[in-house]
Amino acid sequence: SPHFPFLLPPFARKIMADASKVVGAVDKTYSDIQTVKTRMTGVTGQLNQLKVAVATALPTDGGKGSSLNVAFVRQQLAKAKEDLAKFREAVRDAAEKGDTGGGVAGGGGMRKNMKDDKTRTLYERLGGDLNIETAVEMLYNKSLQDSRVRSFFEKNQRKMMNIRKRMYQFMSGFFGGPALYDMANLKPAHYHMNVTDYHFDVMLDLFAKALTELGVHPDAIKDVAAATGKIRKDITTGCTVRMELAKKNMEKGKDGLFKRLGGQEGIVVFIDRLYDLIAVDNRMKSKFVGKDIKKMKEGQYVYMTELLGGPKVYKGTDIAEIHKGVGLTDYEFDCFLGNMEKAMTGLGMEDETVDEVIISSEEIRAALLGRATGIAAHAKVVDGKCVLERLGGDMNVEAIVEMMYGGFRGDPRVKYFYEFSKEKLEGWKLKMTQFLVGAFGGAITYEDSKLRLAHYKYNITDYHFDAFIENFFVSCELMESDTAAVQDAAEVLGHVRKDITSGCTVRLEVARKRVESAGTDGLFEAVGGEDGLKLFMDKLYQHICTDARIQHYFSGSKLDAVKSTQGQYLSVIFGAPISYTGRPLDRVHAVMSISDFEFDCFLEHAQSALRDVGADTNSIDEAIVIMETARRDVLINRKPHDVRKTQEAASAKTVYERLGGDSGISNFVEQMYEKATADVRTKSFFEKNKAKVSVHKKQLVAFLTKLFGGPSSYELSDVRAAHYTLNLSDYHFDCLLDIFSDVFKEMGVKPKDLQDAIQALQPIRADVTTGYTVRMEMARKNVEKGKDQLFKRLGGSDGISSLMDALYKIALVDNRIKDLLLRDPERIKNGQAVYITEMLGGPKQYKGREIAAIHKDLGINDYDFDCYMGDLNRAMMGAGHPESLIDEVLVALEPIRADVLGHSRDAMDGVVMKDGQCLLDRFGGDQNVEATVENMFDRCVEDPRVRFHFERAKAKQRQIRRKFCNYLTGCFGGQVTYDIAELRPAHYNGNITDYHFDAMVDLFKTACFHMGVEQVAMYDAVILLNRSRADITTGCAVRMELAKKKNQLEGADQLFQRLGGLDGVMAMIDRLYECVERDKRINMFFEGAKLQSIKRQQTDYIIATLGGPADYRGRTLEDIHLVLQMNDYHLDCFMQNMGRALRDVGAEQDAVDEATVVLEQLRKQILFHHYKNSR
């Protein structure tokens, strides 16, 4: 009820409060709203006019309506939509003004704050059918008003409507909506138009502006630009190729062109025809009103004669001076060129001649339009500063280039072009820096006219150029350059695209057209037919097998089969009269991890091999064009490249360097030891004599130096052995991480460096805690069988009494805790003996006070309790009790800790409650927890690290999500609806390791970030999640450790024999292959000509691993799996099939578990390169 708001639920009260804020904001911006209303009235008026026009055109009862000008209505509707977009922008401005309490800030910030779901298609992110159609209408209206591209869009209404319709249909399908346009038509439709990269960039800019006005999210607009850039070559190739061929012809001399035009007489005829066309061209004739046309034509006869290769006889005024003040734009010049083309075509001139004339005429565009020439002419000046100054000067540009080159070496799209010696790369860096400095408005020390010649011979495509631009953008972002200056710099660089890519574009297009017109039969013969192809393959494989960059893709026993199949495929695409009988190319490469870099290396060797067999240049170009068409199928697993991550990694210092090197690490260890020995949670582990402390410190310095990327001989494999016998739990490990964090903060370490250091420490958690985890779990399981057997194994009441005597002899001389016992040691000892006897399964005879009440005011902490338990450990060892029994006693007595200390060691009140708010409230309440879990689970089913564990039926997935939500809600301080005691049993039989747990935490943090959870709340939530780590991972850790110990004690061959020896394992492998060949998740790894070879080698390896005869002599697992696109998910599926095969052939469950554990230990070797590439 609005009269009793306190009766409303919290979320409803929040909505009312938010509504009140909105009302207040509207009140504050009353004048802005009045302006908006005025604009809206104008839009309404336009729509009413359209309504009247349509109503007039519709037939009345028994009559006919007037004709409806559909084109006019659509044009007006588009204009109305633009005004509506402006209206919406005004509303945003007013709202933002209310939020900030300041001036109207524009809609850009609002759009950045909007949510953009990148999991949806671009079609959906742009707003679907209506928004795309509106954007096309707006684009056309803008194009008709932009002199740079206007000439391409001035058509009759019917033609315009048809073009708009096709553009909308194209965009619909291209952006992921209904496919209404045949993409094969795109290139032919634009091939004979003079659309350059300059025009394409203008259209991209206008389209981005239209989308911005429609309120599309900036990230979606950015992705639209990236996606649309992929069709650049389809739009511009025709013009590029014609112009380049014309340019190359003219480089031989223009006198040939002059002759083909018919000499001076031919040029007179051409000029006369040109002016006849201009006289009836409504777009241009106004520029010639009142002019002496005869005199103009006479001047142009002479000028064009010289321009087109005739005698140099022009003595008139400079062309730029003549046109000064005329106010010509690109539009008029494009119309002039269009009329020139019509005139020459009408006179029957060849296409090549027309192209050469247009190219020659293009040279005078800048002079006629009064523009400066050269690349630097495009550099914008803002507030008196050129682009170079706005980017921070020469030094900043040099730093940007340095970062770009670091990115290039790790970017598979362009890496191939930068695989050269350090000296050569340094020379290239210098030239690029010089070019950029000059292009951005600085001193010109590198002529941009050299660019075309320097890059012409390389196969650099628009794809590569776009990768270059993306690296430039990211480098500028990392340098924190001014955003507007970076955009202007990128626009300048866009003008050299043609100079960089034209060589490749022309060669490949000419070769493509030859193939299209003549077929590939000629190519097959050009390389020598069947014998030539065989020789070509031999030469190709000679090159490949000695190239360290790609030779690992062509090694192993299956090489001959691969070569044979590949030779057959190349023979077919080169025109051989045979059929390809192998698997489809995309299927063959679906399991392989191949990037553009490896494919480019392969093409390089293909070119060399073709030259070796005597193929001519044209044939080589044709062959490369044909092989290039296979790139998409070969790179079926190509993933988006993270440029930012690569550049950061290339320029980043190691954690060791960022922490200050040797001195920084040593200083850290000193401070960390001081804190650890003062912290009651960890003090017992660090209290040693001075000699031991000194040794430990040196070892820790060496360990951290190695872990953080510094020079150290410390073997990380020693960590587990060094900590195995210590009672270090996940709790202690987290305590140590807290101490590490505190010390780093006190040392002034930057947050990012601190985060990286802690992240580097997480993977060693299992090595540090596994020993304790396994011992305690085994002891716990024994205790669960009944404590009476524990009581008996200790010797009954007499044995426990003797144990207590031995304990007190040690404790009463232990300076750490003796003061707690000296008040009345005999009475305390006797009371503890009765209580402990009962705790360990003896008679229930304890009649004393509650343990918590006894210890309430004694101030006992974790350190004191750990010391007491340590003394008990020593007493039992002195009495000759086995380690397993000692562990069981410690497990049985651990529950006393909470009563003795007066709180649970795992109590997280300080984390859950902060500033009077529980974590649940700080997290955003139940609904935000639920939304975060949904987001996290969506990521889990896609993430290869944990995907296997989440592939369940939808009902099961919903159940797991609900339980996880309930668990988090209770942990975060809300209503407890999940019994935490169920956590361990629920996960005990799952093979969940610390690796999987860390992946889950990582995905949880990503989900929190996406949902806008504040950082402190997220950090506290992660701390709580880590408290459940042992419950989640213990089952797997125990099974793996027991299997390892069993192999060590009984020998590896015991498992082999339990599985049935050679016959049993062979039967299991046969069954395994039946399973994997039917498993669609992984069967692509087990097919093709190499299947029998794989099975044979895998059989030998598995037999040896399970304890059988060691006959395996193949490559290492790392080398075998180097080229495969295999991840954790695939291996998890394989292991699942392995377990199924073992059970199907009758193996006992404990043998299945042990075999699974043994094979699981190979994961790091199998996925070595996957993990390396995923960092």
Answer yes or no: is pLDDT of 5 > 70: no
Token pair 């101030």 is found at 859
| Residue 1147: predicted pLDDT | 92
Percentage of the chain with pLDDT > 70? 88
**pLDDT tens across 461-508, in order?**
889 999 999 999 999 999 999 999 998 898 889 888 888 988 888 888
Residues 6+ apart with CB under 8 A from 55: none
Residue 823 and residue 301: Cα distance in Å, rounded?
A: 122
Residue 963 binned pLDDT confidence (cut-offs 50, 70, 90): very high
DSSP output for 877-906:
HHTT--HHHHHHHHHHHTTHHHHHHTS-TT
Q: What integer pLDDT is reported at residue 73 of this predicted model?
A: 59
DSSP three-state, residue 918 = strand
| pTM of this structure | 0.70
221 with 211: CB under 8 angstroms? yes
- Tens digits of per-residue pLDDT, 541-572? 999 999 999 998 887 767 888 899 999 999 99
Token output for 443: 């001193």
Instruction: Find the helix or strand (DSSP H, E) in which 914 lies.
Output: strand 913-914
Distance between CA atoms of 406 and 644, rounded to whole angstroms? Answer: 11
- Cα separation of 696 and 898, whole Å? 31
Tally of residues, the chain:
1175
Closest to 80 measured CA to CA, from 36, 128, 133, 138: 138
Distance (Å, rounded) from C-alpha 464 to C-alpha 411?
Answer: 10
Find, among 94, 74, 85, 104, the residue nearest to 43 by Cα.
Answer: 85
Instruction: Identify the pLDDT of residue 50.
Output: 52
DSSP state of 842: S
Asked if residues 523 and 620 have their Cβ atoms less than 8 Å apart, the reply is no
Whether residue 276 has pLDDT greater than 60: yes
Res 573 pLDDT > 80: yes
Query: What's the rounded Cα separation, in Å, for the pair 861 and 562?
Result: 68
Cβ partners under 8 Å of residue 810, min gap 6 = 871, 874, 875
What per-residue confidence (pLDDT) applies to 727?
82
Nearest alpha-carbon partner for 924 in 1023, 1007, 1026: 1007
- Per-residue pLDDT, averaged over 283-301, amounts to 84
| Model confidence at 91: pLDDT above 80 | no
Question: For 872, how many CA atoms within 13 A lie in the half-sphere containing its CB?
Answer: 23
pLDDT of 39 higher than 70: no
Q: What is the DSSP string of 403-445?
A: HHHHHHTT-TTTGGGG-S-HHHHHHHHHHHHHHHHHHTTS---
Q: Give 313's pLDDT tier (boundaries 50, 70, 90).
A: confident
For residue range 594-610, what is the model confidence (pLDDT) as tens digits?
Answer: 999 999 999 999 999 99
Average pLDDT rounded to a whole number, residues 670-685: 91
Question: What pLDDT is attached to residue 41?
Answer: 46
Q: Residues 478, 484, 486, 490: is their CA dihedral positive or negative?
A: positive
Torsion 759-761-766-769 (CA) sign: negative
Q: In the beta sheet, which residues pair with residue 382? A: 385
How far is it, in rounded angstroms, from Cα 95 to Cα 82?
A: 20
List, for residues 697-731, the tens digit of each pLDDT value. Answer: 999 999 999 999 999 988 888 888 888 888 888 88
pLDDT digits (tens, 9 = 90+) for 908-926: 556 678 888 889 999 989 8
**Confidence at residue 110, expressed as pLDDT on a 0 to 100 scale:** 38
The Cα 652–Cα 636 span in angstroms is 31
pLDDT at 375 over 80: no
CA-CA distances (angstroms) from residue 80 to 37, 137, 162, 314? 15, 11, 21, 53
Nearest-angstrom CA–CA distance, 1037 and 882: 22
pLDDT at 174 over 80: yes
Of 821 and 45, the structure prediction assigns the larger pLDDT to: 821
Mean of the pLDDT values across residues 889-905?
Answer: 82
Highest mean pLDDT among 102-111, 1045-1054, 1069-1078: 1069-1078
Q: What is the mean pLDDT of the chain?
A: 84
Which helix H or strand E contains 523, and what residues bound it? Answer: helix 521-526
Residue 1013 near residue 935 (C-beta atoms within 8 A): no
Please name the residues in contact with 286: beta carbons below 8 A apart, sequence gap of 6 or more. none
**For the ranges 198-212, 376-390, 444-458, which has the lowest average pLDDT?**
376-390
Residue 246 gets the label, from left (phi > 0), alpha (psi -120 to 50) or beta, of alpha
The more confidently predicted of residues 1132 and 1113 is: 1132
Give pLDDT tens digits for 740-788.
Answer: 999 999 999 998 899 889 888 888 888 888 888 888 888 888 888 888 8
Q: CA-based diameter of the chain, in Å?
A: 131
Tally the C-alpha atoms within 13 A of residue 457's C-alpha that lie toward its C-beta.
5
Q: What is the mean pLDDT of residues 1012-1027?
A: 86
pLDDT score at 93? 58
Q: What is the mean pLDDT of residues 833-861?
A: 89
Looking at 116-130, 331-345, 411-425, which range is the least confident one? Answer: 116-130
**Better-scored residue on pLDDT, 257 or 57:** 257
Q: What is the pLDDT of residues 1050-1098, one digit of tens each?
A: 877 888 998 999 999 999 999 999 999 999 999 988 887 667 888 888 8
Residue 845: pLDDT over 50: yes
Which residue did the predictor score with more confidence, 889 or 71?
A: 889
Task: Give the least confident one: 22-26, 143-147, 988-992.
Answer: 22-26
pLDDT-derived band of residue 7, with 50, 70 and 90 as boundaries?
A: very low
